[in-house]
């Protein structure tokens, strides 16, 4: 074969339009409608043809068209206005207020996928879209943050259906040079590389960047010529390949990501792991500290964990990546030797029970052990996570396991429709977008006339129906459909009737087919002449999830029934573009997972940001978001063991809500034709949900609860050549050694047979501390109501601060319990290690109960 000499061709823009290229390479454009409009006006058809990718579009738009616009005063005026807003956002945007001691805060946010826009297809679903929204809000509110991920050559798959409705997958190559992805170069203008060690070889990864407003996203790509074919495949597909391929991807993400940040001059104070995929970053940080600061493994671990945050999104153990010990041996034997720990110690870092040789290595457990701040992604998911990981803290009551929650949000400017945003701009002012987390902004919703709000919403539904018709026709053309089928597609759906959307990953627990449980009742709903209903479905199943694919096939077969023609559709190849049309145009968003398997779910938040009403199981975020004036709840939070019975009960509940409440309310019109009751729910949705379920609030909450405290603790651990980490490690070792001698002796109280409410009871607790001192421990009394099983229910905790030393050398702690309620009460006593540098009281995992 002939040698191929490669070179890049870049657009030739007239000087007046030169900054369009700068704008195209900053994803800020994708959440600013005026910027999108600039590219759309270049060539409407080409914009669609290029998949809304401005970089590709600038390379394909005709030179004649560019020259014409270079002398179009209206276009140049729009360009100047957008560039003014862009420059202001980049140079003088909203600053994030940091305390004086945390001015050097920098968060490194690691995720295996980022969903920024359909023009950068390196995401599969909710996890990635959340990560993308996290970066956008970090830019908006000015939080110093850098994202880290992989750049996939094929990204996630494209979906199409065969004639039987069975999902098929294609993997088109991403053309990085025609995407908003910036290649990075070294001082000699050579591609910037890092090297990650694999068994018997080094793997090179090229570095790229996506600029997300003020926030950079660093991406690594192993598809370089110096690598073997096998290693070039590491960044080929998101969630592709076998278990070993997943390990290699996570190794490049975690270990390579730390190296990439350092190579680029980023020195984060906080490392945030979005799921356990990036947990290996902690191992690399520990190795660096051992080699450069001459710390022991435990000292390095102490320092590393002080600046690490772990967010789990998984509500079931089966969803966690786990690797067999032999595979971990293959990839990490050199690492064990380098940091000076044994095989058993290393494998124990990833096991719930460190000494269980049969247990595989879990990256989530590794993330827990190498962090000291952890959270689920909703209040309910925090509870589920504490229950799921209680074996990591075996001595702790479940409620005290130190896994909190930060409920997810969405980036309002990305997901709110252009028409609705314009309405908000007129009546709420620009603060609705800049400070979407401020409830005061949304207090003015009632000033928007019902007629204007309803017309705006109806326009979005009309656009959705037009989009569906175009999409359906394109799907049918690909399949070689007959002319009568194409004509039918042009009449699919009705822009004037109640429209319900269901779109998400087709995992079986999400129960996409539940609405078809009683087909006869569904037929009555969609065929009602006075109050008809229509449904739009979309979503992908994982390529290896045949059960999920079967759900899609069943829906497609239902859709083809005469009774559902023109009233129920399934859209192929769900992506962020399809999601926007659906979320911005439906009246109702349907969500019916098996509780508690939906960790959070953000699609319902996006629908609510456009005024759609949620009809959802009380799971994930909806447990917190639901109120009778903001949507409908399916059930009351029940959990079932009989799944068939659950499907029967909950499907019947959905039909009842639709028939008796939801549909009648939608069609209940006043003399002016407006659904006043429905509009009241829309306005309540904006006022109550919009300021809470957005990523501005979420990112700020991460900063206040995790990032700023983690930065402060990192400073304490690392100052004076890591003396903080060394001292805390020595203290923990001393406490662990002496803990076997700590005993709680029989507590003494002045209880009588009956105690009156409001009466105080004196308690005295003698404790044998062995070699420890009173300053090493905290003695606590847990007291409150005793349930039928003899356990304390939601006990209060009292620290016994007063102490004396008895002649026998015991330390006697005393305090008073105030009896605030009648009934059977009780108390328990415990001793925990206590040190001013601990991140939380239970950090050591040592507890001695009386």
Strands 498-503 and 588-591: parallel
Q: Report the alpha-carbon distance of residue 237 to residue 128 in Å, rounded.
A: 14
For residue 789, which phi and psi values (nearest 5 degrees)? -85, 0
- Please state the rounded mean pLDDT for residues 681-706: 98
Q: Report the alpha-carbon distance of residue 748 to residue 751 in Å, rounded.
A: 9
Per-residue pLDDT tens digits for 376-392: 999 999 999 999 999 99
Per-residue pLDDT tens digits for 429-445: 999 999 999 999 999 99
Count of C-beta atoms within a 10 Å radius of residue 170 = 10
Q: Report the alpha-carbon distance of residue 436 to residue 695 in Å, rounded.
A: 9
Count of C-beta atoms within a 10 Å radius of residue 9 = 8
What is residue 796's predicted lDDT score, i.e. its pLDDT?
Answer: 84
Peptide bond into 596 cis (omega under 30): yes
Cβ proximity of 490 and 565 under 8 Å: no
Q: Report the alpha-carbon distance of residue 809 to residue 733 in Å, rounded.
A: 23
- Cβ partners under 8 Å of residue 147, min gap 6: 109, 110, 111, 114, 131, 134, 135, 212, 215, 216, 217, 218
Q: Report the alpha-carbon distance of residue 566 to residue 492 in Å, rounded.
A: 4
Find the helix packing angle between 297-306 and 708-738, rounded to 10°: 140
Q: Which two tokens stand for residue 50?
A: 């290029």
CA torsion through residues 651, 652, 657, 659, sign? positive
Indicate left, alpha or beta for 218 from its phi (over 0: left) and psi (-120 to 50: alpha).
Answer: beta
Q: Report the alpha-carbon distance of residue 63 to residue 68 in Å, rounded.
A: 9
CA distances for 588 relative to 190, 535, 785, angstroms: 52, 10, 43
What is residue 3's predicted lDDT score, i.e. its pLDDT?
Answer: 60
- Cβ partners under 8 Å of residue 275, min gap 6: 111, 112, 127, 311, 312, 313, 314, 364
- Please state the rounded mean pLDDT for residues 567-580: 96
- What's the full length of the chain, in residues? 850
Element (H, E) at 218: strand 215-221
Mean pLDDT for the chain overall:
94
**pLDDT at residue 5 above 70?**
no
Beta bridge partners of 404: 375
Q: What secondary structure does DSSP assign to 824-848, as a single string? A: -EEEEEEEEE--TT-SSTTTT---E
Per-residue pLDDT tens digits for 117-155: 999 999 998 999 999 999 999 999 999 999 999 999 998
For residue 492, which phi and psi values (nearest 5 degrees)? -65, 135
Per-residue pLDDT tens digits for 35-51: 999 999 999 999 999 99
The reported pTM is 0.95
What is residue 27's predicted lDDT score, i.e. its pLDDT?
Answer: 98
What is residue 9's predicted lDDT score, i.e. its pLDDT?
Answer: 58
Sheet strands (E) in 63-122: 107-110
463, 464, 470, 475 alpha-carbon torsion, rounded to 10°:
170
Buried (b) or exposed (e) across 290-320, using 16+ Cβ within 10 A?
A: beeeebbbbbbbbbbbbbbbbbbbbbeeeeb
Work out the pLDDT band at 29, boundaries 50, 70, 90: very high
Element (H, E) at 679: helix 676-689
- Cβ partners under 8 Å of residue 2, min gap 6: none
What is residue 755's predicted lDDT score, i.e. its pLDDT?
Answer: 76
For the chain, what percent of residues have pLDDT higher than 90?
84
Q: Report the alpha-carbon distance of residue 147 to residue 106 in Å, rounded.
A: 11
- Please state the rounded mean pLDDT for residues 527-531: 95
Q: Report the alpha-carbon distance of residue 209 to residue 220 in Å, rounded.
A: 9
Apex 448 CA angle, 445 and 452, nearest 5 = 135
What is residue 479's predicted lDDT score, i.e. its pLDDT?
Answer: 82
- Please state the rounded mean pLDDT for residues 569-583: 96
What Rg, from alpha-carbon coordinates, does the chain have? 29
What is residue 494's predicted lDDT score, i.e. its pLDDT?
Answer: 97
Cβ proximity of 812 and 765 under 8 Å: yes
- Please state the rounded mean pLDDT for residues 664-680: 96
Q: Report the alpha-carbon distance of residue 403 to residue 692 in Å, rounded.
A: 21
- Please state the rounded mean pLDDT for residues 708-731: 96
Q: Report the alpha-carbon distance of residue 616 to residue 685 in Å, rounded.
A: 14
Q: Which two tokens stand for residue 204?
A: 């090179």
What is residue 823's predicted lDDT score, i.e. its pLDDT?
Answer: 77
Per-residue pLDDT tens digits for 602-637: 999 999 999 999 999 999 999 999 999 999 999 999
Q: Which two tokens stand for residue 750?
A: 């002045």
Three-state SS string over 292-325 comes to HHCCCHHHHHHHHHHCEEEECCCCCHHHCCEECH
What is residue 6's predicted lDDT score, i.e. its pLDDT?
Answer: 56
Sheet strands (E) in 317-432: 322-323, 361-362, 373-376, 403-405
Per-residue pLDDT tens digits for 237-279: 999 889 999 999 999 999 999 999 999 999 999 999 999 999 9
For the chain, what percent of residues have pLDDT higher than 70?
98
What is residue 101's predicted lDDT score, i.e. its pLDDT?
Answer: 92
Buried (b) or exposed (e) across 403-416, using 16+ Cβ within 10 A?
A: bbbbbbbbbbbbbb
Per-residue pLDDT tens digits for 785-803: 888 777 888 788 889 888 8
Residue 525: CA count within 13 A, CB half-sphere: 26
What is residue 1's predicted lDDT score, i.e. its pLDDT?
Answer: 53
What is residue 8's predicted lDDT score, i.e. its pLDDT?
Answer: 57
Residue 2's Cα: distance from chain center in Å?
47
Sheet strands (E) in 354-471: 361-362, 373-376, 403-405
What is residue 822's predicted lDDT score, i.e. its pLDDT?
Answer: 76
CA distances for 473 relative to 479, 512, 555, angstroms: 10, 24, 18
Element (H, E) at 283: helix 280-293
What is residue 477's predicted lDDT score, i.e. its pLDDT?
Answer: 87
Nearest to 201 by CA among 219, 180, 222, 220: 222
- Cβ partners under 8 Å of residue 219, min gap 6: 122, 148, 149, 150, 151, 181, 207, 208, 209, 210
**Residue pointed to by tokens 């076998």:** 242
Q: Report the alpha-carbon distance of residue 786 to residue 794 in Å, rounded.
A: 9
What is residue 340's predicted lDDT score, i.e. its pLDDT?
Answer: 95
Per-residue pLDDT tens digits for 342-359: 999 999 999 999 999 999
């Amino acid at each position: 074969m002939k040698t191929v000499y490669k070179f890049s061709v870049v657009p030739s823009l007239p000087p007046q339009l030169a900054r369009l290229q700068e704008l195209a390479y900053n994803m800020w454009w994708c959440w600013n409608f005026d910027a999108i409009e600039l590219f759309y006006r270049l060539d409407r058809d080409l914009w669609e043809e290029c998949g809304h990718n401005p970089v590709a579009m600038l390379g394909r738009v005709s030179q004649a068209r560019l020259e014409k616009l270079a002398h179009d005063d209206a276009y140049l005026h729009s360009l100047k206005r957008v560039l003014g807003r862009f420059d202001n956002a980049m140079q003088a945007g909203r600053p994030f207020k940091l305390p004086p001691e945390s001015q050097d805060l920098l968060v490194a946010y690691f995720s295996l996928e980022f969903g920024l826009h359909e023009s950068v297809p390196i995401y599969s679903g909710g996890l990635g879209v959340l990560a993308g929204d996290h970066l956008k809000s970090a830019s908006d509110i000015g939080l110093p943050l850098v994202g880290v991920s992989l750049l996939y050559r094929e990204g996630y798959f494209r979906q199409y259906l065969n004639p039987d409705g069975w999902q098929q997958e294609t993997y088109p190559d991403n053309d990085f040079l025609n995407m908003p992805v910036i290649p990075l170069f070294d001082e000699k203008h050579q591609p910037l590389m890092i090297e990650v060690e694999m068994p018997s070889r080094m793997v090179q990864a090229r570095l790229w960047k996506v600029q997300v407003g003020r926030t950079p996203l660093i991406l690594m790509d192993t598809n370089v010529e110096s690598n073997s074919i096998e290693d070039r495949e590491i960044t080929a597909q998101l969630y592709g390949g076998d278990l070993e391929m997943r390990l290699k991807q996570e190794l490049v993400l975690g270990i390579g990501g730390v190296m990439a940040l350092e190579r680029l001059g980023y020195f984060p104070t906080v490392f945030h792991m979005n799921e356990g995929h990036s947990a290996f970053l902690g191992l690399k940080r520990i190795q660096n500290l051992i080699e450069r600061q001459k710390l022991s493994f435990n000292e390095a671990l102490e320092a590393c964990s002080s600046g690490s945050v772990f967010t789990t999104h998984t509500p079931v153990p089966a969803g966690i990546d786990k690797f067999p010990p032999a595979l971990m041996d293959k990839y990490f034997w050199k690492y064990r030797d380098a940091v000076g720990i044994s095989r058993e110690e290393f494998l124990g870092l990833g096991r719930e029970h460190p000494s269980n040789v049969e247990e595989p290595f879990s990256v989530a457990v590794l993330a827990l052990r190498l962090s000291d701040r952890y959270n689920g992604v909703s209040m309910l998911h925090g509870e589920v996570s504490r229950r799921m990981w209680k074996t990591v803290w075996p001595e702790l009551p479940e409620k005290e396991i130190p896994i909190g929650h930060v409920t997810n949000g969405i980036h309002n400017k990305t997901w709110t429709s252009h028409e609705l945003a314009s309405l908000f701009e007129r009546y709420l002012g620009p603060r609705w977008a800049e400070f979407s987390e401020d409830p005061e902004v949304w207090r003015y919703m009632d000033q928007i006339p019902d007629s204007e709000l309803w017309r705006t919403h109806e326009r979005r539904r009309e656009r959705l129906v037009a989009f569906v018709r175009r999409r359906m026709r394109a799907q049918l053309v690909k399949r070689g459909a007959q002319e009568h089928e194409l004509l039918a597609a042009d009449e699919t759906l009705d822009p004037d009737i109640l429209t319900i959307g269901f779109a998400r990953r087709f995992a079986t627990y999400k129960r996409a087919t539940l609405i078809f449980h009683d087909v006869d009742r569904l037929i009555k709903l969609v065929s009602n002449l006075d109050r008809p209903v229509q449904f739009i479905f979309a979503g992908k199943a994982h390529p290896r999830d045949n059960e999920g694919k079967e759900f899609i096939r069943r829906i497609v077969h239902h859709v083809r029934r005469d009774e559902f023609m023109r009233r129920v559709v399934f859209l192929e190849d769900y992506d962020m573009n399809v999601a926007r049309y659906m979320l911005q145009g439906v009246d109702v968003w349907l969500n019916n997972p098996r509780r508690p398997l939906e960790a959070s779910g953000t699609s319902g938040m996006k629908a609510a940001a456009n005024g759609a009403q949620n009809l959802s199981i009380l799971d994930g975020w909806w447990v917190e978001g639901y109120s009778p004036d903001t949507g409908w709840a399916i059930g009351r939070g029940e959990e079932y063991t009989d799944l068939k019975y659950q499907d029967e009960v909950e499907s019947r509940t959905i039909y009842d809500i639709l028939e008796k409440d939801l549909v009648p309310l939608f069609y209940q019109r006043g003399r002016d034709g407006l659904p006043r009751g429905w509009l009241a729910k829309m306005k309540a949705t904006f006022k109550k949900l919009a300021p809470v379920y957005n990523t501005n609030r979420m990112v700020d909450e991460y900063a206040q609860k995790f990032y700023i405290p983690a930065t402060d603790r990192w400073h304490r651990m690392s100052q004076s050549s890591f003396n903080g980490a060394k001292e805390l490690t020595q203290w923990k070792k001393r406490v662990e050694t002496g803990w076997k001698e700590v005993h709680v002796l029989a507590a003494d109280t002045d209880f009588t047979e009956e105690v009156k409410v409001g009466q105080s009871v004196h308690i005295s607790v003698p404790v044998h501390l062995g070699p420890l001192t009173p300053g090493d421990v905290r003695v606590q009394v847990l007291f409150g109501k005793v349930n039928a099983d003899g356990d304390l229910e939601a006990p209060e905790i009292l620290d016994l601060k007063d102490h004396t030393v008895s002649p026998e050398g015991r330390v006697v702690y005393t305090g008073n319990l105030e009896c605030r309620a009648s009934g059977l009460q009780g108390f328990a006593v415990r001793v925990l290690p206590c040190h001013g540098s601990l991140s939380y009281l239970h950090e050591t995992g040592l507890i001695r109960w009386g």
